[in-house]
Structure 1
Amino acid sequence: MKILTKITIGLAAASLLLVGCNGSKTQTATDSQAHVKPIIDESHLGYRGTTDLLKEDVIPPAVAYGSAAPGTSKKIARAYQDAPPMIPHDTTGMLPITQDNNQCLMCHMPDMAASMGATPIPVSHFTNFRPKTTVKGDEILKNGKVIVNTSSETLKNVSINVDKSEQHLYAGRFNCTQCHAPQAINTLVDQNSFKPTYTSKDGAHKSSWNQSKWLKDINTDK
């Protein structure tokens, strides 16, 4: 009888202990959940200004670009070192650019840029970095000479065609807006907090791309 009583008392004590522990955990979880607040709701998931993300007839804000005339605008800092510069001025009537109609050249050719207050086109845009390559049977020819299938830049018979007088833009560079684009002036829904670290002192407005073995005698830092 005494043994049975002890067992009963022991089970009762264990039950109370378990209930106390579970109650404590439940209370802690409840308190924790009470302090959790939503950081982002649906209205922040897009720039259409609606919480109905599946609605199809919502018209997004119109994209607006700078209207400053060429020569009167302020240069836009590059997003990162050697990034293609953004176009800071109005491009109305200048697009689309074609090989036969490129109004960018009127101000940005090196011999005109200084007097127009424009950024001059760099020598890299007057350079063909693609030696003429053909295949004859099982052989690869560059500039008409057979070469080993390698990308080594020490090959003496692989030449790069450079217009050192900077008179003729390389045909592969005619479409300026393929890399350079106007900058929208809309207010961002989510602000950009990226801060570039430039590798050169004037990296915000100038390229740091310099010579390599390919360009041993070419000043590309202009």
Structure 2
Amino acid sequence: MKRILLAVLAVSALMAGVVQSEESTPAKPVSEAVAKTEILNPGGIGGLESLRGSAELEDTRPADPMKHYPKDQGVIDNDYVYQPPLIPHTIRHYEVSLNANKCLACHSWKNAKEMGATKISITHYVSPQEGQVLSDVSPSRYFCQQCHVPQADAKPLVENDFKRVSALQ
């Protein structure tokens, strides 16, 4: 009985403190600059603009136009040492999953010559943990788009002043 009485007293004291703090909290004065910002930017993103523009996260904006991938560019030169080669064609509708890898239909050692495609590197057949050569593509190299990307004819998202390695020019 004492425990119940103590619990009721504790809860009532807590509620009284909350009510008292709400009553005693003074209203914050709003400066003219803050008021103007809230009028111009009611969404509360602080005037910042991201790569997706100034749209609110909850708002839906029109999709960006599709990127143009040239039909067949041939081999694209590397810009730096150990750069994974770029894909010179579109990969739209290519399935790369646990059950299938469309890339290997052309680029595997078995099919590359017949398809006129570049063979995948021998390093893709080496297990990175043990360093042993496997009879099939290493599971760590199976998902091609982790490293290789198609080269789209698109404007950069951010300004870039990258310079190629002079030895590769």
Amino acid at match of 1:77: D
Amino acid at match of 1:88: P
1:183 aligns with 2:154: no
**In structure 1, what is the equivalent of residue 99 of structure 2?**
100
1:162 aligns with 2:130: no
How far apart, in 2, do the equivalents of 1:120 and 1:90 lie?
18
Number of matched pairs: 118
**In structure 2, what is the equivalent of residue 117 of structure 1?**
116
How far apart, in 2, do the equivalents of 1:198 and 1:128 lie?
32
Conservation of the 8 A alpha-carbon contact between 2:78 and 2:85: yes
**In structure 1, what is the equivalent of residue 165 of structure 2?**
197
1:55 aligns with 2:58: no
Conservation of the 8 A alpha-carbon contact between 1:88 and 1:183: yes
- What are the within-5 Å matches in structure 2 for residues 24-39 of structure 1? none
1:64 aligns with 2:67: yes
Larger radius of gyration: 1
How far apart, in 1, do the equivalents of 2:113 and 2:166 lie?
25
Conservation of the 8 A alpha-carbon contact between 2:127 and 2:138: yes
**In structure 2, what is the equivalent of residue 75 of structure 1?**
75
Aligned-pair CA distance for 1:89: 0.6
Conservation of the 8 A alpha-carbon contact between 2:112 and 2:118: yes
Aligned-pair CA distance for 1:190: 5.2
Aligned-pair CA distance for 1:110: 2.2
How far apart, in 2, do the equivalents of 1:76 and 1:192 lie?
19
How far apart, in 1, do the equivalents of 2:51 and 2:54 lie?
13
- The structure carrying a bigger helix percent of its residues is 2
Aligned-pair CA distance for 1:63: 4.3
Question: Gaps spanning 5+ residues in structure 2: where?
Answer: 1-48
Identify which of structures 1 and 2 has the higher relative contact order when contacts are C-alpha pairs closer than 8 Å and 6+ apart: 1
Query: Cα RMSD over matched residues?
Result: 2.7
Question: Gaps spanning 5+ residues in structure 1: where?
Answer: 1-44, 132-159, 205-222
**In structure 1, what is the equivalent of residue 22 of structure 2?**
none
- What are the within-5 Å matches in structure 2 for residues 136-147 of structure 1? none
